[in-house]
Amino acid sequence: MLELSMEHPDELVKVTHALSTELRLRMLELLNSRRMNVAELAEALEIPVSTSASNVKVLEQAGLIETELLPASRGAMKVCSRIYDDIKIIINVPERRAGADQGEHCYEIAMPIGSFTACEAAPTCGMVSETGPIIVEDSPAGFFHPERIHAQLLWLRKGYLEYRYPLEIPQGAAVRLIQFSMEICSEAPNYQNDWPSDITLWINNVEIGTWTSPGDFGGRRGRLNPSWWIDTGTQFGMLKTWSVDHTRSTIDHKEISAVNLSDLQLSGQNHVDLRLGVKENAVYKGGINLFGRKFGDYEQDLVMKIYYTV
């Protein structure tokens, strides 16, 4: 069962949006008893395959279905499976958290992807801005170039990236939730839709959890990609959100660990450290592509949100 609450408004909005059309509800109904690929859903619903694919993407981003790329007679096909049988929405939350008049605030920082404070990169690796390459491809030393601040897409086959965010919330504020969201995927030569990678996120040196990216995505252009970007390169990623509250850590509503806010020791700090990487002992060492607001499908940088009361 998927359990949602008014205490987690971002998650609730994402899921309710996915459930807001009859077409997506019919897709979930079709996936009740068996897996279906995008073309099969399109045929069953008598809609274009492109419409089927875009609505599958909405359901996947909301965490309601999961997809797997499998070999087909012509390339690969995306096979869809429903994750949950039931959804529970908790509306009756404690009054002190029930609204803005009770002092709830959101502190948000959008960090440019090139503003990392430390990194380790190994080929294949590179970095481009909205207007062209920033460094020589497959040059790890180039990751320390001052022009990295303008990066809109960067990739590395091995290693990590570290960022430091300012923490400017009122003294004594009670943090309820911290979130990091980003557009991200694996890193393969050119692109490979079936190329898994175990990507791990740490906050303040505490491991939050690992997401297995299914691939390095291409085959159609990213919605925001500049015209000069090559068709044979990485095109887009998936929008993923890591969250930590007082009881658990999640990725897109799915619990991944028991790490909670007390483990992060945010109180009294003036910054928050974020680390993204592929661990040396990862099962799938498939690298990282990280997208800025001018590349891929989502117009955002590496966003931190902290919900707190005063």
Q: 76 and 110: one domain? A: no
Cα–Cα distance between 85 and 274 in angstroms, integer?
34
| Residue pLDDT, tens place only, 266-301 | 988 999 999 999 999 999 999 999 999 999 999 999
- Using an 8 Å Cβ cutoff, are 183 and 239 in contact? yes
pLDDT at 101 > cutoff 60:
no
Write down the pLDDT at residue 3. 78
The whole-number average pLDDT for the span 164-181 is: 94
Write down the pLDDT at residue 8. 78
Q: 60 and 107: one domain? A: no
Tokens (6 digits) for 189: 């030569």
Write down the pLDDT at residue 69. 86
Q: 108 and 33: one domain? A: no
- Specify the pairing of strand 36-37 against strand 76-82: antiparallel
Q: 162 and 46: one domain? A: no
The whole-number average pLDDT for the span 236-253 is: 94
Q: 130 and 166: one domain? A: yes
Burial of 282: CB neighbours in 10 Å, binned 0-12, 13-18, 19+:
middle
Q: Percent of the chain, pLDDT > 70?
A: 96
Single-letter code of the amino acid located at 305: K
pTM of the model: 0.70
Q: Which of 88, 118, 143 is where one domain is finished?
A: 88
Cα–Cα distance between 285 and 196 in angstroms, integer?
8
Confidence band, pLDDT 50/70/90 cuts, at residue 76: confident
Confidence band, pLDDT 50/70/90 cuts, at residue 106: very high
Write down the pLDDT at residue 99. 44
Confidence band, pLDDT 50/70/90 cuts, at residue 102: low
Nearest C-alpha neighbor of 284 from the set 219, 211, 233: 211
Confidence band, pLDDT 50/70/90 cuts, at residue 70: confident
| Residue pLDDT, tens place only, 29-63 | 999 878 999 999 999 999 999 999 999 999 999 98
Which CATH number characterizes residue 233's domain?
Answer: 2.60.120.260
Nearest C-alpha neighbor of 90 from the set 15, 158, 187: 15
Beta bridge partners of 36: 80
**Average pLDDT over all residues of the chain:** 92
- Using an 8 Å Cβ cutoff, are 119 and 159 in contact? yes
Q: 189 and 230: one domain? A: yes
Q: 83 and 110: one domain? A: no
Cα–Cα distance between 27 and 42 in angstroms, integer?
9
| Residue pLDDT, tens place only, 251-269 | 988 899 999 999 999 988 9
Half-sphere exposure of 140 (CA within 13 A, CB side): 13
pLDDT at 23 > cutoff 90:
yes
Q: 178 and 286: one domain? A: yes
DSSP summary character for residue 96: G
**Chain Cα centroid distance, residue 129:** 21
Residues 6+ apart with CB under 8 A from 72: none
Confidence band, pLDDT 50/70/90 cuts, at residue 96: very low
Cα–Cα distance between 22 and 197 in angstroms, integer?
34
pLDDT at 158 > cutoff 80:
yes
**Angstrom distances, CA of residue 84 to CA of 11, 238, 251, 269:** 15, 20, 15, 38
pLDDT at 92 > cutoff 80:
no
Range of the domain at 39: 2-88
SS3 state at 26? helix
Q: 209 and 279: one domain? A: yes
pLDDT at 205 > cutoff 50:
yes
Q: 150 and 236: one domain? A: yes
Write down the pLDDT at residue 32. 87
Q: 55 and 127: one domain? A: no
SS3 state at 198? strand
Q: Which of 54, 70, 88 is where one domain is finished?
A: 88
Tokens (6 digits) for 230: 């090559």
pLDDT at 88 > cutoff 70:
yes
Confidence band, pLDDT 50/70/90 cuts, at residue 100: very low
What is the count of structural domains for the chain?
A: 2
Q: Which of 88, 115, 146 is where one domain is finished?
A: 88
Tokens (6 digits) for 264: 């992060």
Chain length of the chain: 310
| CB neighbourhood size of 152 (10 A) | 25
Write down the pLDDT at residue 95. 44
Q: 33 and 105: one domain? A: no
Which CATH number characterizes residue 26's domain?
Answer: 1.10.10.10
Tokens (6 digits) for 176: 């309820």
